[in-house]
Copies of this chain bind each other. A is one copy, B any other.
Amino acid sequence: MLTPQTNPRGPAEHERREQIISAASEHFRHYGYTKTTVADLAKAIGLSTAYIYKFFDSKKAIGEAVCSICLGEIAQALHAIRREPKPAADRLRRMYAELARRGAALFFNDRKMHDIVAAALAEGWQPNQTYTEDLQGLLRELVQEGRDAGEFERKTPLDETCRAIMLTMEIMKNPAILEMHLDTLEEDAAVLAALVLRSLSP
Which A residues have a C-beta under 8 Å from some C-beta of B?
121-122, 153, 156, 160-161, 163-165, 167-168, 170-171, 174, 176-177, 180, 188, 191-192, 194-196, 198-200
Q: Residue A177 contacts which of B156, B174, B196 (CB distance < 8 angstroms)?
A: B174
Most buried by B among A160, A188, A198, A199: A198
Which residues from B are CB-within-8-Å of A188?
Answer: 163, 167
* Min CB gap A94→B, angstroms: 17
**A192 and B167 alpha carbons, distance in the complex (Å):** 7
* Min CB gap A196→B, angstroms: 7
Q: Across the interface, do A195 and B153 meet the contact criterion of CB distance under 8 Å?
A: no
Count of chain copies: 2
Q: Residue A170 contacts which of B164, B165, B177 (CB distance < 8 angstroms)?
A: B177
Q: Residue A195 contacts which of B165, B171, B176, B177 (CB distance < 8 angstroms)?
A: B165
Q: Across the interface, do A195 and B199 meet the contact criterion of CB distance under 8 Å?
A: yes
Q: Tell me the dominant secondary structure on chain A's binding face.
A: helix
Which residues from B are CB-within-8-Å of A163?
Answer: 188, 191
* Min CB gap A189→B, angstroms: 9
* Min CB gap A77→B, angstroms: 22
**A122 and B118 alpha carbons, distance in the complex (Å):** 15
Which residues from B are CB-within-8-Å of A165?
Answer: 195
Which residues from B are CB-within-8-Å of A199?
Answer: 195-196, 198-199
**A194 and B161 alpha carbons, distance in the complex (Å):** 9
* Min CB gap A16→B, angstroms: 35
Which residues from B are CB-within-8-Å of A167?
Answer: 168, 171, 188, 191-192
Q: Residue A198 contacts which of B156, B168, B171, B176 (CB distance < 8 angstroms)?
A: B156
Which residues from B are CB-within-8-Å of A198?
Answer: 153, 156, 198-200
